[in-house]
Amino acid sequence: MKKKSITSIQKSKGVQKLTMITAYDALFARLFDGEVDFILVGDSLNMSFGGKPDTLSATMDQMIYHTQAVCNGAKNTFIICDMPFGTYANMDGAFLNAKRVYQETGADAVKIEGGIEKAHIVKHLTDNSIAVVGHIGLMPQNFRSEGGYKVKGKDEENIQQLINDAQAIEHAGAFMIVIEGVKSEAAKAISQAISIPVIGIGAGVDTDGQVLVWSDMFGFFEEFKPKFVRQYLDGASLVKNSVRKYKADVVNEKFPSKDEIY
Protein backbone atom coordinates (compact mmCIF):
# COMPACT_ATOMS: atom_id res chain seq x y z
CA MET A 1 0.00 0.00 0.00
CA LYS A 2 1.32 3.49 -0.92
CA LYS A 3 1.12 6.53 1.38
CA LYS A 4 -2.29 8.19 0.92
CA SER A 5 -2.67 11.85 0.00
CA ILE A 6 -5.15 14.07 1.81
CA THR A 7 -7.25 14.21 -1.37
CA SER A 8 -7.44 10.42 -1.60
CA ILE A 9 -8.21 10.19 2.14
CA GLN A 10 -11.16 12.52 1.67
CA LYS A 11 -12.37 10.65 -1.40
CA SER A 12 -12.49 7.43 0.66
CA LYS A 13 -15.52 8.65 2.62
CA GLY A 14 -18.48 6.45 1.80
CA VAL A 15 -16.32 4.34 -0.56
CA GLN A 16 -13.83 2.43 1.54
CA LYS A 17 -13.30 2.15 5.30
CA LEU A 18 -10.03 3.58 6.61
CA THR A 19 -7.70 1.89 9.11
CA MET A 20 -5.49 3.56 11.67
CA ILE A 21 -3.25 2.04 14.32
CA THR A 22 -0.99 3.72 16.85
CA ALA A 23 2.77 3.18 17.00
CA TYR A 24 5.45 4.73 19.15
CA ASP A 25 8.67 3.30 17.77
CA ALA A 26 10.43 2.33 14.55
CA LEU A 27 10.24 -1.42 15.25
CA PHE A 28 6.45 -1.65 15.28
CA ALA A 29 5.99 1.17 12.76
CA ARG A 30 7.99 -0.93 10.28
CA LEU A 31 5.67 -3.90 10.90
CA PHE A 32 2.57 -1.78 10.35
CA ASP A 33 3.98 0.17 7.39
CA GLY A 34 1.88 -0.18 4.25
CA GLU A 35 -0.65 -2.41 6.04
CA VAL A 36 -2.90 0.39 7.34
CA ASP A 37 -3.86 3.84 6.01
CA PHE A 38 -2.54 5.81 8.98
CA ILE A 39 -0.15 5.44 11.87
CA LEU A 40 -0.97 7.67 14.82
CA VAL A 41 1.79 8.55 17.25
CA GLY A 42 -0.75 8.93 20.06
CA ASP A 43 -0.07 10.60 23.38
CA SER A 44 -1.46 7.31 24.77
CA LEU A 45 2.24 6.38 24.71
CA ASN A 46 2.46 8.23 28.02
CA MET A 47 0.36 5.43 29.56
CA SER A 48 1.46 2.25 27.80
CA PHE A 49 5.12 3.21 27.26
CA GLY A 50 5.57 5.76 30.04
CA GLY A 51 3.55 3.87 32.68
CA LYS A 52 1.71 7.07 33.66
CA PRO A 53 -1.94 7.03 34.78
CA ASP A 54 -3.13 9.31 31.96
CA THR A 55 -1.89 11.17 28.86
CA LEU A 56 -1.55 14.58 30.49
CA SER A 57 2.16 14.64 31.24
CA ALA A 58 3.29 13.76 27.71
CA THR A 59 5.58 16.50 26.41
CA MET A 60 6.27 17.98 22.99
CA ASP A 61 9.86 16.68 23.14
CA GLN A 62 8.62 13.14 23.79
CA MET A 63 6.11 13.31 20.94
CA ILE A 64 8.83 14.59 18.60
CA TYR A 65 11.23 11.81 19.63
CA HIS A 66 8.64 9.05 19.14
CA THR A 67 7.35 10.56 15.88
CA GLN A 68 10.89 10.65 14.50
CA ALA A 69 11.24 6.96 15.40
CA VAL A 70 7.92 6.06 13.75
CA CYS A 71 8.83 8.04 10.63
CA ASN A 72 12.15 6.18 10.49
CA GLY A 73 10.27 2.87 10.50
CA ALA A 74 7.28 3.67 8.27
CA LYS A 75 8.05 5.29 4.94
CA ASN A 76 4.85 4.30 3.12
CA THR A 77 2.17 5.30 5.60
CA PHE A 78 0.49 8.61 6.44
CA ILE A 79 1.75 9.54 9.91
CA ILE A 80 -0.15 11.69 12.41
CA CYS A 81 1.44 13.13 15.55
CA ASP A 82 -0.72 13.88 18.60
CA MET A 83 -0.25 17.36 20.05
CA PRO A 84 0.09 16.77 23.79
CA PHE A 85 -1.90 18.48 26.54
CA GLY A 86 -1.24 22.23 26.89
CA THR A 87 0.71 22.60 23.64
CA TYR A 88 -2.14 24.16 21.63
CA ALA A 89 -3.91 26.29 24.24
CA ASN A 90 -3.42 29.43 22.16
CA MET A 91 -2.87 30.12 18.48
CA ASP A 92 0.79 31.19 18.58
CA GLY A 93 1.84 28.31 20.85
CA ALA A 94 -0.10 25.83 18.73
CA PHE A 95 1.63 27.00 15.56
CA LEU A 96 5.11 26.97 17.12
CA ASN A 97 4.61 23.44 18.44
CA ALA A 98 3.01 22.12 15.24
CA LYS A 99 5.85 23.75 13.27
CA ARG A 100 8.30 21.70 15.37
CA VAL A 101 6.44 18.54 14.36
CA TYR A 102 6.74 19.46 10.69
CA GLN A 103 10.36 20.64 10.88
CA GLU A 104 11.77 17.99 13.22
CA THR A 105 9.85 14.92 12.06
CA GLY A 106 8.42 13.58 8.83
CA ALA A 107 4.83 13.51 10.16
CA ASP A 108 2.13 14.36 7.65
CA ALA A 109 -0.38 15.88 10.09
CA VAL A 110 -1.05 16.72 13.72
CA LYS A 111 -4.08 15.73 15.82
CA ILE A 112 -5.65 18.00 18.42
CA GLU A 113 -8.47 17.33 20.87
CA GLY A 114 -11.42 19.70 21.08
CA GLY A 115 -14.63 20.87 19.41
CA ILE A 116 -16.03 24.36 18.82
CA GLU A 117 -13.74 25.81 21.51
CA LYS A 118 -10.68 24.71 19.52
CA ALA A 119 -11.97 25.61 16.03
CA HIS A 120 -9.94 28.86 15.95
CA ILE A 121 -6.77 26.85 16.69
CA VAL A 122 -7.56 24.38 13.90
CA LYS A 123 -8.15 27.31 11.52
CA HIS A 124 -4.91 29.02 12.52
CA LEU A 125 -2.93 25.81 11.90
CA THR A 126 -4.59 24.98 8.59
CA ASP A 127 -4.26 28.62 7.43
CA ASN A 128 -0.53 28.15 8.06
CA SER A 129 -0.23 24.95 6.02
CA ILE A 130 -0.40 22.41 8.86
CA ALA A 131 -2.73 19.47 8.14
CA VAL A 132 -4.98 18.86 11.13
CA VAL A 133 -6.99 15.87 12.37
CA GLY A 134 -9.61 16.77 15.00
CA HIS A 135 -10.52 14.60 17.99
CA ILE A 136 -13.92 14.93 19.69
CA GLY A 137 -16.19 12.91 21.98
CA LEU A 138 -14.29 11.36 24.87
CA MET A 139 -11.10 13.37 24.98
CA PRO A 140 -8.42 11.68 27.11
CA GLN A 141 -6.77 15.04 27.80
CA ASN A 142 -9.94 15.98 29.75
CA PHE A 143 -9.45 12.98 32.04
CA ARG A 144 -8.76 15.07 35.15
CA SER A 145 -11.05 18.02 34.38
CA GLU A 146 -14.00 15.65 33.80
CA GLY A 147 -13.06 13.26 36.63
CA GLY A 148 -12.53 10.16 34.45
CA TYR A 149 -13.29 8.80 31.01
CA LYS A 150 -16.94 9.59 30.20
CA VAL A 151 -18.79 8.07 27.24
CA LYS A 152 -20.46 10.80 25.15
CA GLY A 153 -23.54 11.09 22.94
CA LYS A 154 -26.00 9.63 25.44
CA ASP A 155 -28.84 12.10 24.79
CA GLU A 156 -30.18 14.23 21.95
CA GLU A 157 -28.70 17.43 23.35
CA ASN A 158 -25.21 15.95 23.59
CA ILE A 159 -25.48 14.36 20.14
CA GLN A 160 -26.35 17.79 18.70
CA GLN A 161 -23.40 19.32 20.55
CA LEU A 162 -21.06 16.69 19.09
CA ILE A 163 -22.43 17.37 15.59
CA ASN A 164 -21.83 21.10 16.13
CA ASP A 165 -18.28 20.32 17.30
CA ALA A 166 -17.57 18.15 14.26
CA GLN A 167 -18.98 20.75 11.86
CA ALA A 168 -16.96 23.54 13.49
CA ILE A 169 -13.75 21.51 13.17
CA GLU A 170 -14.54 20.63 9.56
CA HIS A 171 -15.26 24.28 8.68
CA ALA A 172 -12.02 25.29 10.41
CA GLY A 173 -10.13 23.16 7.90
CA ALA A 174 -9.48 19.75 9.52
CA PHE A 175 -9.31 17.01 6.87
CA MET A 176 -10.42 14.19 9.19
CA ILE A 177 -11.82 13.70 12.70
CA VAL A 178 -11.30 11.00 15.32
CA ILE A 179 -14.32 10.40 17.53
CA GLU A 180 -13.72 8.44 20.69
CA GLY A 181 -16.01 6.84 23.25
CA VAL A 182 -19.40 7.86 21.87
CA LYS A 183 -22.65 5.88 21.55
CA SER A 184 -22.83 4.34 18.11
CA GLU A 185 -26.01 6.20 17.10
CA ALA A 186 -24.24 9.48 17.90
CA ALA A 187 -21.18 8.42 15.88
CA LYS A 188 -23.43 7.58 12.93
CA ALA A 189 -25.17 10.96 13.11
CA ILE A 190 -21.82 12.80 13.29
CA SER A 191 -20.37 10.83 10.37
CA GLN A 192 -23.42 11.67 8.26
CA ALA A 193 -23.37 15.35 9.22
CA ILE A 194 -19.90 16.15 7.86
CA SER A 195 -18.14 15.53 4.58
CA ILE A 196 -14.67 14.67 5.94
CA PRO A 197 -13.85 11.12 7.10
CA VAL A 198 -14.61 10.20 10.70
CA ILE A 199 -12.39 7.60 12.36
CA GLY A 200 -13.94 5.91 15.38
CA ILE A 201 -12.59 4.33 18.51
CA GLY A 202 -15.25 2.95 20.81
CA ALA A 203 -17.78 4.55 18.47
CA GLY A 204 -19.44 1.63 16.67
CA VAL A 205 -19.36 0.47 13.08
CA ASP A 206 -20.95 3.43 11.28
CA THR A 207 -17.89 5.67 11.10
CA ASP A 208 -15.64 5.96 8.04
CA GLY A 209 -12.88 3.93 9.66
CA GLN A 210 -11.43 2.63 12.92
CA VAL A 211 -8.41 3.25 15.09
CA LEU A 212 -7.00 1.04 17.84
CA VAL A 213 -4.06 1.50 20.18
CA TRP A 214 -1.51 -1.16 19.23
CA SER A 215 -0.64 -2.21 22.78
CA ASP A 216 -4.37 -2.78 23.50
CA MET A 217 -5.14 -4.72 20.32
CA PHE A 218 -2.10 -6.96 20.70
CA GLY A 219 -2.76 -7.61 24.37
CA PHE A 220 0.36 -6.00 25.80
CA PHE A 221 -1.36 -3.41 27.98
CA GLU A 222 -2.82 -5.41 30.84
CA GLU A 223 -3.65 -2.61 33.28
CA PHE A 224 -6.85 -1.53 31.57
CA LYS A 225 -8.94 -3.25 28.88
CA PRO A 226 -11.66 -1.01 27.43
CA LYS A 227 -14.86 -2.75 26.24
CA PHE A 228 -14.38 -1.59 22.64
CA VAL A 229 -10.96 -3.18 22.17
CA ARG A 230 -10.76 -6.35 20.10
CA GLN A 231 -7.61 -8.21 21.09
CA TYR A 232 -5.93 -9.76 18.04
CA LEU A 233 -2.98 -11.27 19.91
CA ASP A 234 -2.26 -12.36 23.45
CA GLY A 235 1.01 -10.44 23.43
CA ALA A 236 1.55 -10.35 27.20
CA SER A 237 1.30 -14.17 27.56
CA LEU A 238 3.53 -14.76 24.54
CA VAL A 239 6.21 -12.48 25.95
CA LYS A 240 5.96 -13.81 29.52
CA ASN A 241 6.11 -17.44 28.37
CA SER A 242 9.11 -16.69 26.17
CA VAL A 243 10.92 -14.95 29.03
CA ARG A 244 10.26 -17.98 31.28
CA LYS A 245 11.56 -20.38 28.59
CA TYR A 246 14.67 -18.23 28.17
CA LYS A 247 15.28 -18.22 31.91
CA ALA A 248 14.85 -22.01 32.10
CA ASP A 249 17.25 -22.50 29.17
CA VAL A 250 19.91 -20.35 30.84
CA VAL A 251 19.48 -21.97 34.26
CA ASN A 252 19.61 -25.47 32.72
CA GLU A 253 22.59 -24.54 30.51
CA LYS A 254 20.57 -25.20 27.35
CA PHE A 255 21.32 -21.75 26.02
CA PRO A 256 23.58 -20.99 24.25
CA SER A 257 23.98 -24.20 22.27
CA LYS A 258 26.98 -25.15 20.12
CA ASP A 259 25.28 -23.46 17.12
CA GLU A 260 24.88 -20.23 19.02
CA ILE A 261 28.50 -19.57 19.92
CA TYR A 262 31.51 -18.17 18.04
Window contacting ligand KIV (CB under 6 A); options: 8-16, 37-45, 117-125, 143-151: 37-45
Element (H, E) at 22: strand 18-22
CA–CA–CA angle 135, 50, 18 (5° rounding):
35
Strand, helix or coil at 30? helix
Q: Does 22 bind ligand KIV (CB under 6 A)?
A: yes
Instruction: Report how far residue 5's alpha carbon sits from residue 108's, in angstroms, rounded to the nearest whole number.
Output: 9
180 is catalytic: yes
DSSP per position, 167-180: HHHHHHT-SEEEEE
Q: Does 73 bind ligand KIV (CB under 6 A)?
A: no
Q: Which residues contact 240 (CB under 8 A, 6 or more apart)?
A: none
Binding mask 151-170 for ligand KIV (x = CB under 6 A): --------------------
Cis status of the peptide bond prior to 256, with omega within 30 of 0 = yes
Window contacting ligand KIV (CB under 6 A); options: 23-31, 35-43, 88-96, 156-164: 35-43
Q: Out of 180, 185, 253, 260, pick the active-site residue.
A: 180
Helix axes 156-172, 119-127, angle to 10 degrees: 20
CB of 178 to ligand KIV, least distance (A): 5
Q: From the DSSP assignment, how many helices (H) and strands (E) are in the chain?
A: 10, 8
Give the residue with the Cβ less far from ligand KIV, 148 or 257.
148
Q: What is the dihedral of CA 29, 203, 44, 93, to 10 degrees?
A: 100
Query: Which residue among 201, 204, 217, 235 contacts ligand KIV (CB under 6 A)?
Result: 201
Window contacting ligand KIV (CB under 6 A); options: 6-14, 36-44, 163-171, 250-258: 36-44
Query: Which residue among 207, 213, 217, 235 contacts ligand KIV (CB under 6 A)?
Result: 213
Query: Which residue among 33, 37, 54, 82 contacts ligand KIV (CB under 6 A)?
Result: 82
Contact 140, 161 (CB under 8 A): no
Query: Which residue among 43, 54, 108, 170 contacts ligand KIV (CB under 6 A)?
Result: 43
Q: Does 211 bind ligand KIV (CB under 6 A)?
A: yes
Report the catalytic residues: 180
Q: Where do contacts with ligand KIV occur on this chain (CB under 6 A)?
A: 22, 40, 42-44, 82, 178, 180, 201, 211, 213
